[in-house]
Amino acid sequence: MVGRFSDETNTFLPERRTLAETKAAARYGNDAIPRGGFTDACKLFDIELIGSISVGGNNRLLNADAFDYVTGVILETLDKNQVDAVYMDLHGGGCADQHDDMEGETLALIRKKVGPNIPIMFTLDMHCDVTPLMTQVADAAIIGQKYPQYDRFENGQALAWIMTGTLFGKAKPVMAIKKLPMMIGPPLNVRTASYPIRQVYARAREIERTVPGMIAVCPAHGYMQQDIPTQGSGVLVTADTDRDLAQKYANEVGDLFFSFRKEYWIHLPDAAEAIQIALKACRPAVISDGGDNRGAGTPGDGTHFLRELLKQNVKSAIVQIIDKEAALQAAQKGEGATLKLDVGGKSYPVYGPPISVTGKVIKVKWNEKKTDAAVHMDVNGITLVLDPPRDLHEIGIAPEKYKMTICKVGHEFGPLFPEDEFQLIGADTPGFSTTKLDTFTWKRIPRPMYPLDNI
């Protein structure tokens, strides 16, 4: 059986995800079978995949009844089908009301259902909170190893090799964990190609290559925007049969990971400073609006950068803001129209206030149903993009021709901004994904915890 339960929950967001929303987004049966490396590898061995439920991609805390519904569908699938193994495509950063360790508890329910002899394996996103429960109830795991994250296919494929080896009696995987009292995340110095975190991954790969019986050594960054008892980075290690061996190398890699903690926490410029850095750059710059990182569940309508660009009278900049209301107003006026708009800052006070701008509509790209539009406007020389498409070229914008582009991301700038052509600048701004952790109220995380505590 295969299934997907993949949330990255920001517990500081005030809204919850309801049962109705969860059902509306779910896929079932064959539609729940993931595309990618795991499925492709299983096809090579004629392994039949039975789909259960696929749901996720949300950042709001899941209501308890929605958790019960999703796990209920999984367990019902197991009741109806005799299976030889279970694969779950998980995130590791999910939380539900009354279920802090959403993924661990899901795996525990599966284990209780199938008994001790059926292999249970799973993949996790790099930004996962790994837990002891996961190692107690499942057999093997693969965690993403690249950030930005472009290795999902390979991760699924690697897990499939472990699964097939286990089913054919070639391995008996066991897991161990090392939890770390450390919080890290984008846009800090955590790109896996950068020093020092690349040293951690280099050692993990070396252990996999050189230590007999070692299957997978997987650092886990954790997810900072969660006030839960399982908060913190960690390492999951899978070995063949020998749990003590797995624990030995989990401890070693965990200690190395933790030893660089202060070097992950680099200074991040605010909007004003980031703009100055970009203006002095020798090539086009792309700047992450760190406090309004859409990948962490933020609304994307923060106005801190737009306000600062106008203040500094910058003339070669792209600013992207999610504001459906303003986008529709501009789109309805049509290309060539000049109008006054209140832009952004309408979601929460921390992202505002809205900015009143007067600008010319350059290009409009409607969706098929004409209900939403991406709008390219010129505002006092600044290129303002309301409800932007994935590829800015679709609305006539070539970022390589601008001095800077502001993106609502952590480090996932995407293929539009190759590192050999753009200077990547991480910045911090107020919001639900800020790295200024002392602006949040922490009640439930274990202490001490770096950087909140000087350890």
Residue 447 lies in a domain: no
pLDDT in tens, 286-343: 999 999 999 899 999 999 999 999 999 999 999 999 999 999 999 999 999 999 999 9
Does 145 lie in the same domain as 182? yes
Which domain covers residue 424, as residue numbers?
271-434
Residue 226 lies in a domain: yes
Tell me: do 287 and 258 sit in the same domain.
no
Question: What percent of the chain has pLDDT above 90?
Answer: 95
Residues 201 and 316 in one domain: no
User: Contact at 8 Å (CB) between 239 and 251?
Assistant: no
Evaluated on CA atoms 71, 75, 76, 78, the torsion sign reads positive
**DSSP secondary structure of 392-445:** GGGGT--GGGSSEEEESSSS---TTS-TTTSEEEEE--SSTT-S-GGGS--SSS
Burial environment of residue 121 by CB neighbours within 10 A (0 to 12, 13 to 18, 19 or more): buried
In this structure, are 201 and 309 located in the same domain?
no
Q: At what angle do helices 102-114 and 64-80 cross, to 10 degrees?
A: 30
Q: What is the pLDDT of residue 121?
A: 98
Same domain assignment for residues 44 and 167: yes
Of 238, 264, 290, the one marking the end of a domain is 264
Q: Output the six-digit token pair for 258.
A: 């933790």
Burial label for 110, CB within 10 Å (0-12, 13-18, 19+), is buried
Same domain, yes or no, for 211 and 290? no
CA distances from 401 to 2, 216, 284, 285, 397 (A): 45, 43, 7, 10, 9
Pairing of strands 214-220, 234-240: antiparallel
Task: Give me the pLDDT at residue 415, please.
Answer: 77
Whether 310 is in a domain gets the answer yes
Domain presence at residue 325? yes
> Is 0.75 surpassed by the pTM of this model?
yes
Predicted pLDDT at 16 = 95
**Shared-domain flag, residues 193 and 311:** no
Chain-centre distance of CA 41, in angstroms?
Answer: 25
CB atoms within 10 A of CB 295: 17
Single residue among 232, 264, 296 that ends a domain in this structure: 264
Say whether both 245 and 279 belong to one domain: no
Q: Looking at the structure, tell me whether residues 60 and 39 fall in a common domain.
A: yes
Cα 97 to its chain centre, rounded Å, is 20
* 208 & 327 share domain: no
pLDDT at position 411 = 76
User: Which of 245, 264, 283 delimits the end of a domain?
Assistant: 264
Helix (H, G, I), strand (E, B) or coil at 285: strand
**Residues of the chain below pLDDT 50:** none
In a domain, 178, yes or no: yes
Same domain, 312 and 200: no
What does the pLDDT read at residue 410? 80
Does residue 452 fall inside a structural domain? no
- Chain centre to alpha carbon of residue 241: 32
DSSP string, 48-86: ---EEEEEE---SEEPHHHHHHHHHHHHHHHHHS--S-E
Q: What is the pLDDT of residue 148?
A: 81
Our count of domains for the chain comes to 2
Which tens digit of pLDDT belongs to each residue from 130-178? 999 999 999 999 999 998 888 999 999 999 999 999 999 999 999 999 9
Looking at the structure, do residues 6 and 113 belong to the same domain, yes or no? yes
Position 373 in a domain: yes
Can you give the pLDDT at residue 371?
93
Residue 340 counted as domain residue: yes
Each residue of 297-333: b (16+ CB within 10 Å) or e? Answer: bbbbbbbbbbbbbbeeebeebbbbbbbeebbbbbbeb
